Amino acid sequence: MTDAGASAEAPDVSVVLPVHRNRPTLEELHRRLSGSLAGTFPRYELIFVDDACPEGSGAVIAEIAARDPRARGISLDRNVGQQRAVWLGLAEARGEWVVAMDADLQDPPEAVPSLLSAPPGVDAVLAAWTGRYEGKGRLATSRLFKILREKLTGYPRDAGMFFALRRPLVEEILRHDVPHPFLPSLVGLSGRRIATVTVERAARPGGGSAYSGTARLLRAAREIAFIFRRRRAC
């Protein structure tokens, strides 16, 4: 893993962006994120985690970091998957609040300030999705899994991997250094106070999901097993 572009001054907000097959959206993502944060949270950093993208995303990230001192890239030697890539980004983030979001523009950058407007005592603010952004088959499978996860962990069924975490919760999550950390389940099982903000998710600008139906089912099964292991350990 290599890192480049870090600023010496610690920010108030870090945004972690796992990147895999997202080269076409990176420049627009950077522009929109910077515009959304600069006015209300000027002390921020953007951490692009290149999850061994085979399409040259690392070169685009390097260009962005070269002209923007608040952006930096982490390049992974091998593909580790979205949630492990986010975990590695959390480990490098320095902000009091840390936002995780996709790099494909389905998570609207303009919603980030809303996630950061948390009432006192809240340690996690989650984007609660509205709008139709999945196919019917995937939607049904995803809904069943998320209902079960909500019952087991308390993580809301309408929330995904677009969230803002306060520093103490980030530190707690970082104690779980495992290949598949399943971050939403860790947030839900933390017992900390969670708030949600309604966000309309956009359709993916181009291409399909990186996960096949079989891969999604296997990932759901692994996460359920992970939840039961964590519940027994608590």
pLDDT at 219: 85
Residue range 28-46: mean pLDDT, rounded: 97
pTM: 0.90
User: CATH number, domain at 28?
Assistant: 3.90.550.10
Number of domains in the chain: 1
Q: Which of 65, 67, 54 is nearest to 23 (CA)?
A: 54
**Which residue range is the domain that position 130 belongs to?**
2-233
Please, which residues bridge with residue 71 across strands? 46
Mean pLDDT score of the chain: 90
Residue 79 to residue 51: CA distance in whole angstroms: 5
Amino acid letter, residue 168: P
136-169: pLDDT as tens digits: 555 567 788 999 999 999 999 999 999 999 999 9
Residue 104 to residue 25: CA distance in whole angstroms: 6
Residue 72 to residue 15: CA distance in whole angstroms: 11
| pLDDT: which is higher, 137 or 86 | 86
- Mode of pairing for the β-strands spanning 13-19 and 44-50: parallel
